[in-house]
Structure 1
Amino acid sequence: MTDPRLETTRLILRPPVDEDLDGWAGLDADERAVGFIGGLRTRNQAWMDMATTVGMWSLRGASLCSVIEKDTGRWVGRVGPWLPEGAIGTEVGWAITPAAWGKGYATEAARAAMSWAFDHLSWTEVIHCIDAPNAASITVAERLGSRWLRADHEADGKEVQVYGQSRETWRTPTSGQLKSGPLPT
């Protein structure tokens, strides 16, 4: 399988490359950005996590993408299908650097990743595992057309709220795929 390059009106999503480390490590060093996704990480830990993400592309045919602003070429986050060992389900997750918050990038990028997962990975469901107090991510999930499904525990025992939707729901006119906003090109 060829690694995807997804484009929306404002963003490019592609597998991480070595040059993404500064952005990746910067996000992981910002407590506001990682408070709900495992906490602060050193630059070396961020590199290991980025390398794991790259490796997941080879092992699973899916993983997080680096999110790049088209206009500036700036790395603004990571979004994509996430299916590690012991996963609760077929997840699309997101993490955007605080400097890019409030622009709708998480929703725009996740919309593209969900379409790709349904169309190219043949996933029948996409979920989002979210900490209960993470109101911003819950809002993103709802903008995507996902709804609360259940509380569950990740492989490390952490309790999360699981939002999601089926491929059939995604393809209906009221789904997140067809709501207003930039769509994948």
Structure 2
Amino acid sequence: MSPVLETERLILRVPTQADFDAGWAAFHGDPECMRHLGGAMPRSIAWRALAQVVGMWPLRGFGTFSLIEKATGRWVGRSGPWQPEGWPAREVGWMLHRSAWGQGYATEAAEASLRFVFDTLGWTSVAHMIHPENLGSQAVAARIGSRFLEMVDLPPPMDVAGPTQMWGQTAEDWRANRPAPRAPT
């Protein structure tokens, strides 16, 4: 399964090796981008993170997407379903390159990812693991209709920062909060 999702400004597709030098390595090596995600990674560890994301697709049937800006073809981040071994719940997450912050891409990608997990994968609920100091991601979660649920512990090695916030919502709540489709004119 290699789905491709499109939004007004983004293409969401399964990550490829080409994404590594197109932005993946720079993102994962940027201390500010990785401030709430375990810290900057050397290239060798960033490559392993890419391999983990790509490997999740055949193992679980889903994984995070690379976010490609339609207007430029530029890799701007990643978003989508995520559930490595030991994770507290099925998650939809988002991680944007610093150059893409403040443009609404995280919300746009998260909405497309939620539609995918609820309508295609058939999930009945979704969570978002958010560092307690990551106010930007908390705002995105609220914009897409999620709410704070509880504090959780992540499995090693992601547990180093201590308990994290779990936000989330059900598919039923998500559908109830979407605008009704427009009738053809």
TM-score (norm 2): 0.92
Offset at 1:115?
0.7
Q: Which amino acid in structure 1 is aligned with residue 3 of structure 2?
A: P
Which portions of structure 1, spanning 4 or more consecutive aligned residues, are displaced by more than 6 angstroms?
A: none
How far, CA to CA, are the matches of 1:129 and 1:7 in structure 2?
Answer: 24
Which residue does 1:56 correspond to in 2? Answer: 56
- 2:102 corresponds to: 102
In structure 2, what is the equivalent of residue 144 of structure 1? Answer: 144
The one-character-per-residue Cα deviations of 1:61-102 (angstroms, maximum 9, x if unpaired) are 111110000000000001010010001101001100001101
TM-score (norm 1): 0.92
Residue ranges of structure 1 left out of the alignment (5+ in a row): 180-185
CA distance in 1, matches of 2:138, 2:32: 16
Q: What whole-Å deviation, never above 9, does each CA across 1:34-80 have from its counterpart, x for those lacking one? A: 11011110111111100110000000011111000000000000101
**Aligned equivalent of 1:183:** none
Higher relative contact order (CA 8 A, sep 6+): 1
Paired position in structure 2 for 1:71: 71
Q: Which amino acid in the other structure matches residue 113 of structure 2?
A: A
> How big is the alpha-carbon RMSD for the aligned residues of Structure 1 and Structure 2?
1.2
DSSP 3-state at the match of 1:32: coil
Question: Share of identical aligned residues, percent?
Answer: 48
In 1, the alpha carbon distance for the partners of 2:14 and 2:40 equals 22
Equivalence for 1:113? 113
Number of aligned residue pairs: 175
Distance 1:130 1:119 in 2: 24
- Could you tell me which amino acid in structure 2 is paired with residue 169 of structure 1? D
Unpaired runs of 5+ in structure 2? 181-185
Q: What is the distance in 2 between the residues matched to 1:44 and 1:113?
A: 28
Instruction: Give the greater-gyration-radius structure (CA).
Output: 2
Q: Name the structure 2 match of 1:182.
A: none
2:17 corresponds in structure 1 to 18
**Residues in 1 aligned to 2:87 and 2:121: alpha-carbon distance in whole angstroms:** 16
Decide which of 141, 145, 164 is 2:168's aligned counterpart. 164
